[in-house]
Amino acid sequence: MQEIRYISTAQLREALGSPSELAERKAVPTLDKYSRAFIARSPFLTLATTDASGRTDVSPRGDQAGFVQVLDDQTLFLPERPGNARYDSLLNIIENPRVGLLFFVPGFEDTLRVNGRAEVIANPELLARCEVNGRIPKVGIRIAVEEAFLHCAKALRRSRLWDPAQHRDRAELPSLGQMILEQTAARDAPPAAETISFVDTLIEENYRNELY
């Protein structure tokens, strides 16, 4: 079968069809009671950002359910917790404020999508609300919501994401430290076992001491 490259909207629509009227209308410009309820129950989301050149990044964000504050019907606040200090998302937002968020709730097969414009801020009042174990984040992301809509369960049903029977044994792959060391090592100089053990220990210590 010959490969087909779809290079126009009309060509793609002809092949795949068009959305229903309800699918078109479901994207609303404010956070209604259902979006708010979903966000309040969500301990995990993915954050998509793009830099000025169009390079895209997707970052996982997680905390206790309700960690994303709904400031009003069109504004969210997401605390920036300690990470690897790359700050890919924050640097992208400074260059290009367009963001997309996908909220998950454990056990829910549907998801919530939110798109808007973001800015990196240090607002003492908002940051104080995000205190955990006596630690207050230094900055956060304020998002002006442009559209929000619920996404159907097909992807999570196909993946069986919440099905415990689908859980894999982490031992199927090496430790995070080993994989990164091997990815970054010279081809003719694999990391020593002592180095792997040292890095794995550092990662675990960071998990224990620097989650917040």
pTM listed for this prediction: 0.94
> In terms of domains, do 128 and 26 share one?
yes
How many folded domains does the chain comprise? Answer: 2
Query: Per residue in 60-89, pLDDT tens?
Result: 999 999 999 999 999 999 999 999 999 999
Place of tokens 């990815």: 183
> In terms of domains, do 183 and 202 share one?
yes
Q: Which residues fall within 8 angstroms of residue 116, CB to CB, at 6 or more apart? A: 76, 98, 99, 143, 144, 145, 146, 147
pLDDT of residue 187: 84
- Could you say which DSSP state residue 172 is in? G
Q: How many CB atoms lie within 10 A of CB 96?
A: 18
| Residue 11 forms part of a structural domain | no
pLDDT of residue 113: 98
Query: Per residue in 98-109, pLDDT tens?
Result: 999 999 999 999
Whole-number Å distance between alpha carbons of 66 and 44: 9
pLDDT band for position 188 (50/70/90)? confident
Q: Are 150 and 111 in contact (CB under 8 A)?
A: yes
- Residue 150: CATH number of its domain: 2.30.110.10
pLDDT of residue 157: 97
Higher pLDDT, 125 or 187: 125
> In terms of domains, do 70 and 22 share one?
yes
> In terms of domains, do 47 and 106 share one?
yes
> In terms of domains, do 117 and 181 share one?
no
Query: Per residue in 126-156, pLDDT tens?
Result: 999 999 999 999 999 999 999 999 999 999 9
Q: Which domain holds residue 182?
A: 169-209
* DSSP sequence for 105-159: -TT-S-EEEEEEEEEEE--HHHHHTT-BTTB--S-EEEEEEEEEEEE-SHHHHHH
| Residue 63 forms part of a structural domain | yes
> In terms of domains, do 112 and 185 share one?
no
In single-letter form, the type of residue at position 106 comes to P
Burial (Cβ within 10 Å: 0-12, 13-18, ≥19) of residue 174: middle
| Residue 5 forms part of a structural domain | no
Query: Per residue in 32-47, pLDDT tens?
Result: 999 999 999 999 999 9
> In terms of domains, do 175 and 106 share one?
no
